[in-house]
Amino acid sequence: MPPRKRPAPPPEEPRPSSKPAPDAKPSEPTKSAPDSATPTISAAVLAKLPNMERQVYTLIFEAGSKGMWMLDVRKQLTISPNVATKVVRTLVGHELLKEVSDVRHRSRKIFMATDFQPSDEITGGTWFYGVLGEFREDTSSPLEGFRLFQGVPNLSGFS
């Protein structure tokens, strides 16, 4: 005889203390700049895209400034690698998506909508610039003085 399946546990009801007040507004971000309005997907753009491209674009657009790795796109939409690559290349060709290099994972291609700027996690913050994540020499000059103050020898003359 096959083993019996256990019944699913009943859904938990939220506790009264965790419910937000009905008239309470969601908290607004503390950092707000005049040009930091959250971009929205244009209905005209979505209307022109075929079904698969629309799904991929919407998924990557919702990722925001963090972008999305190709493998994550494939897993969430359950599509083959060939289809995912073709769709993303098409969207990059239409200039709806851009490819960004992640400083933590150099071999990963992160794709994000062109409406967003990459977050500091992806670009490396003030130490790096550009979409390729190149090291900024001008930010290391204050560290040069600190290094000399600490008594660390200058090793830049060695090859």
Over residues 22-54, the pLDDT tens digits come to 554 544 444 444 445 678 888 888 999 999 999
pLDDT band at residue 129 using 50, 70 and 90 as cut-offs = low
Say what the pLDDT of residue 29 is: 45
User: Any idea which fold 42-149 has?
Assistant: Arc Repressor Mutant, subunit A (1.10.10)
- The helix (H) or strand (E) run that includes residue 135 is strand 134-135
Q: Which residue shows structure tokens 């939409």? A: 77
Residue 96's CB is within 10 A of a number of other CB atoms, namely 21
Q: Which residue shows structure tokens 């909508």? A: 113
Q: Show the tokens assigned to 89.
A: 């290349």
How far apart (Å, rounded) are the C-alpha atoms in residues 73 and 85? Answer: 10
User: 159 in helix, strand or coil?
Assistant: coil
User: How does pLDDT run across 47-99, given as a tens digit for each residue?
Assistant: 999 999 999 999 999 999 899 999 999 999 999 999 999 999 999 999 999 99
Q: Show the tokens assigned to 35.
A: 């040009």
Rounded (5°) CA angle 121-124-125: 90
How far apart (Å, rounded) are the C-alpha atoms in residues 77 and 51? Answer: 12
* DSSP label at residue 126: G
Q: Show the tokens assigned to 20.
A: 């937000």
